[in-house]
């Protein structure tokens, strides 16, 4: 997902998740581009059959049938809060990136880019220097905070992008969703140190432990910064955040695009939320010439301004101090880093150990100079034939989607025409960008890690606001090639697949076609499905947010979507903790769409022939096994609880099982009957696309 780090808060501007159809299908392409026969990476045909537990019947728990032995025997690494198929690939990409970085860092006569990479990496690893400097690198920022006398002084600090401080409201720049030929400033609720508003009002034993853990961390950070009465002052910081949280919209409400697009003038914003000096804040951010903004959560912004105005400057300064110490903890002495990890790693996610320093250094380099590294990554680890195969897979899945829209019995012709236009306009981006970011002007100082971090934040913000008034950059990517993920961007109507996800178990040029369709094919369909999920459907083929549905078709769609939401809300991964089907609805629609379209594309690729059995499994069985295989994951209880609360992705078991039980070809493939635990009566199954 493309992230803009502004005033300490990450803003997701993309919808993250996880085609004329070729007669030959992926098999024909494999034969055309691969002269030698290579074995599949997993098993004999692309499935790790040694991970299966065949003592579990497919209809009892399909996820365990495919992954049961792995689930029983795999230990979550101590530095992880969860571990699954995504992590396997992430670890592979991380090791490759480490080699790229360390090779650059070891050169005696490096290029300018190699020097920046090496200097950043070595600065991050130089813990002796970090310990020696202590708090000296953040003392100028602490002094600025201590010198603040007024609310406007505090606001000026919050609006300094280099400091990375939290703030009650966070601005970012992106394409105007309803006028997508220009960029505009958005503003969204912000300012919480816990993942969302609900954590501040959770009276359960688990919830109170988390809230106390944050309060203790705040006290520790204030004490480290030299504050007296740190305990009482931490209570005041938590009270301030709780007041902010009280006005925050829930994550379910935040998903609603009809509610979160509110364009107004800056004068109207000042009238709506008078507790903040908006003109000064915008000028400090370099946005003084902007007279229009889009407000995402109107009542939350009103509340934030009121809470801010009614909170004493001393409490706000303590809030900024805690924020500064936490946002810089990885670059400060080990005791401060450890305190931050104790809460955010151990208490919140159940992580037993901090990640090794080199892994965190790799992440830091990736986050700052990702496309410089990515350019080398692609050259070394992304074979051209993978792009050829992916191009054909995308078009095969698009073709299946086209047929699917034509066959919808619940959708009228006018809406179908608009849906087909949108599908045809999908722009796939595969592997890597056509134009690489150079990070011109971003300087790295090997002897000043925190100075480099702060200057890189400023560079990122200035790069972002530099888009205002410029033509839309359709070549920009929201992820680096070495990212194991994929996304759909509704404003540009594009589906994007970085190079690093195009590997087993998602994609293997030498695997059986059924496995590739059940893996990466379903991911392709998933991202296309986001264009037609409960929120993605609110944008048209040109990326404009507008209603292109007839009233009857919209009602029919919403009725089907509600059934799927209700199904997922019944799942209870932990005792007393159910999924929220409304929060995960977009992802679950994406999954259902992805499996449906990938399966239909796979069947078409067979050209009417029956797929051969391999190791005793039919083509259809291999397809569904591949789907379940990619969602294998183990969780620590704390991390699973956090996932349930924060969503929107359902845990792996429910992504695998929750979808196939709605899809008749799965029943046929494994002879599932009404006697099986996963059976759903036909009238209870959901079909949308």
Q: What is the DSSP string of 8-23?
A: TEEEE-SEE------S
CATH number at residue 493: 3.40.390.10
Per-residue pLDDT tens digits for 66-115 = 999 999 999 999 999 999 999 999 999 999 999 999 999 999 999 999 99
Residue 26 in domain: yes
Which residues share a beta bridge with 174?
Answer: 184
Residue 103 in domain: no
β-bridge pairing 292-295 and 262-265: antiparallel
Per-residue pLDDT tens digits for 123-177 = 999 999 999 999 999 999 999 999 999 999 999 999 999 999 999 999 999 999 9
- Clarify whether residues 564 and 675 are in a common domain: yes
Residue 84 in domain: no
Q: What is the spatial distance between Cα 140 and Cα 157, in angstroms, rounded to a whole number?
A: 12
Q: How many other CB atoms are there within 10 angstroms of residue 278's CB atom?
A: 22
Per-residue pLDDT tens digits for 246-266 = 999 999 999 999 999 999 999
Q: What is the spatial distance between Cα 401 and Cα 413, in angstroms, rounded to a whole number?
A: 16
Q: What is the spatial distance between Cα 239 and Cα 412, in angstroms, rounded to a whole number?
A: 52
Residue 455 in domain: no
The 8-class DSSP code of residue 617 comes to B
Residue 212 in domain: yes
- 405: Cβ contacts below 8 Å, ≥ 6 apart: 411, 416, 419, 420, 423, 689
- Clarify whether residues 50 and 151 are in a common domain: no
Domain of 542 in residue numbering reads as 17-75+383-431+481-684
- Clarify whether residues 315 and 391 are in a common domain: no
CATH number at residue 233: 1.10.1380.10
- Clarify whether residues 526 and 655 are in a common domain: yes
| 33-37, 122-126, 133-137, 553-557: the lowest-pLDDT one | 33-37
Q: How many other CB atoms are there within 10 angstroms of residue 203's CB atom?
A: 7
pLDDT score of 373 more than 60: yes
- Clarify whether residues 34 and 183 are in a common domain: no
- Clarify whether residues 176 and 48 are in a common domain: no
Residue 527 in domain: yes
pLDDT for the residue numbered 38: 82
Average pLDDT along the chain: 93
Residue 122 in domain: no
Region for residue 418 given its phi and psi (left: phi exceeds 0; alpha: psi -120 to 50; beta: otherwise): alpha
Per-residue pLDDT tens digits for 632-654 = 999 999 999 999 999 999 999 99
Which of 312, 331, 350 is the endpoint of a domain?
A: 331
- Clarify whether residues 37 and 180 are in a common domain: no
Express as a percent the part of the chain with pLDDT over 70: 95
Which of 311, 331, 351 is the endpoint of a domain?
A: 331
- Clarify whether residues 487 and 634 are in a common domain: yes
Q: Work out the angle at residue 387's Cα, subtended by the Cα atoms of residues 381 and 390, and round it to the nearest 5 degrees.
A: 125
Integer angstrom CA distances of residue 341 from 238, 359, 560, 582? 19, 15, 43, 31
* Nearest-10 crossing angle of helices 151-158, 313-327: 20
Burial grade of 72 (CB within 10 A; 0-12, 13-18, 19 or more): exposed
- Clarify whether residues 180 and 54 are in a common domain: no
- Clarify whether residues 192 and 262 are in a common domain: yes
Which of the four pLDDT bands, split at 50, 70 and 90, describes residue 4?
A: very low
Residue 129 in domain: no
- Clarify whether residues 57 and 185 are in a common domain: no
Closest by CA position to 619, among listed 45, 8, 29: 45
pLDDT for the residue numbered 37: 58
β-bridge pairing 9-12 and 427-431: unpaired
Contact yes or no for 541/501 (Cβ under 8 A)? no
The 8-class DSSP code of residue 331 comes to G
pLDDT score of 21 more than 60: no
Residue with tokens 């033509």: 471
Cis amide bond preceding 644, omega within 30:
no
- The number of distinct structural domains making up the chain is 2
- Tell me what the mean pLDDT of segment 487-515 comes to: 95
- Clarify whether residues 285 and 148 are in a common domain: yes
Residue with tokens 């991390």: 639
Q: What is the pTM of this model?
A: 0.92
- Tell me what the mean pLDDT of segment 362-374 comes to: 96
């Amino acid at each position: 997902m493309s992230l803009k780090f502004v005033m300490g808060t990450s803003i997701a501007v993309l919808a993250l998740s996880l085609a004329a159809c070729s007669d030959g299908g992926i098999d024909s392409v494999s034969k055309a581009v691969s002269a030698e026969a290579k074995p599949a990476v997993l098993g004999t045909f692309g499935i790790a059959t040694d991970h299966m537990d065949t003592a579990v019947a497919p209809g009892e728990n399909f996820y365990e049938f495919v992954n049961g032995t792995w689930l029983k025997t795999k230990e979550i690494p101590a530095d992880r809060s969860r571990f699954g198929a995504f992590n396997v690939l992430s670890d592979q990409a991380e090791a490759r990136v480490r080699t790229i970085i360390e090779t650059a860092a070891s050169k005696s006569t490096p290029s300018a880019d190699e020097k920046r990479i090496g200097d950043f990496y070595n600065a991050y690893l130089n813990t002796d220097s970090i310990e020696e400097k202590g708090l000296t690198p953040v003392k100028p920022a602490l002094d600025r905070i201590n010198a603040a006398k007024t609310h406007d002084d505090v606001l000026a600090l919050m609006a300094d992008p280099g400091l990375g401080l939290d703030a009650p409201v966070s601005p970012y720049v992106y394409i105007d969703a309803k006028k997508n030929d220009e960029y505009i400033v958005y503003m969204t609720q912000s300012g919480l140190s816990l993942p969302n508003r609900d954590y501040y009002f959770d009276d359960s034993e688990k919830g109170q432990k988390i809230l106390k853990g944050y309060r203790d961390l705040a006290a520790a950070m204030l004490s480290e910064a030299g504050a007296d009465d740190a305990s009482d002052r931490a209570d005041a910081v938590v009270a301030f955040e709780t007041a902010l949280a009280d006005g925050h919209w829930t994550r379910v409400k935040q998903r609603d695009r009809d509610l979160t697009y509110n364009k107004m003038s800056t004068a109207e914003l000042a009238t709506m939320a008078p507790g903040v000096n908006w003109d000064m804040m915008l000028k400090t951010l370099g946005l003084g010439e902007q007279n229009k903004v889009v407000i995402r959560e109107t009542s939350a912004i009103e509340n934030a301004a009121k809470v801010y105005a009614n909170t004493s400057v001393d409490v706000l300064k303590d809030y900024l101090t805690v924020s500064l110490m936490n946002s810089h903890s990885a670059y400060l002495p080990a005791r401060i880093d450890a305190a931050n990890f104790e809460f955010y790693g151990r208490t919140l996610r159940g992580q037993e150990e901090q990640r090794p320093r080199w892994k965190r250094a790799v992440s830091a380099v990736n986050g700052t100079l990702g496309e410089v590294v990515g350019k080398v990554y692609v050259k070394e680890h992304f074979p051209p034939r993978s792009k050829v195969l992916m191009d054909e897979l995308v078009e095969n899945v698009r073709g299946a989607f086209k047929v699917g829209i034509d066959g919808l019995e619940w959708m009228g012709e006018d809406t179908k025409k608009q849906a087909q236009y949108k599908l045809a306009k999908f722009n796939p981006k595969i592997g890597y960008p056509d134009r690489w970011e150079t990070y011109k002007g971003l300087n790295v100082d090997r002897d000043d890690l925190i100075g480099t971090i702060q200057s890189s934040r400023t560079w990122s913000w200035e790069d972002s606001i530099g888009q205002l008034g410029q033509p839309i950059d359709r070549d920009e990517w929201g992820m680096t090639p070495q990212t194991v993920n994929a996304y759909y961007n509704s404003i540009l109507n594009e589906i994007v697949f970085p190079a690093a996800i195009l590997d087993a178990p998602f994609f293997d040029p030498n695997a059986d076609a059924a496995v590739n369709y059940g893996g990466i094919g379903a991911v392709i369909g998933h991202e296309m499905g986001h264009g037609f999920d409960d929120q993605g459907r609110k944008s048209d083929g040109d990326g404009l947010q507008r209603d292109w549905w007839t009233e009857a078709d919209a009602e029919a769609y919403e009725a089907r979507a509600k059934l799927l939401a209700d199904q997922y809300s019944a799942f209870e991964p932990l005792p007393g903790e159910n999924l929220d089907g409304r929060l995960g609805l977009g992802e679950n629609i994406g999954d259902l769409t992805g499996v449906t379209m990938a399966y239909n594309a796979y069947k078409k690729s067979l050209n009417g022939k029956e797929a051969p059995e391999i190791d005793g499994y039919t083509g259809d069985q291999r397809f569904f096994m591949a789907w379940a295989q990619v969602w294998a994951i183990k969780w620590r209880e704390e991390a699973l609880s956090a996932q349930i609360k924060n969503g929107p992705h359902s845990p792996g078991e429910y992504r695998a099982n929750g979808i196939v039980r709605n899809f008749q070809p799965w029943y046929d493939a494994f002879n599932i009957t009404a006697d099986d635990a996963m059976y759903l009566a036909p009238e209870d199954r959901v079909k949308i696309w």
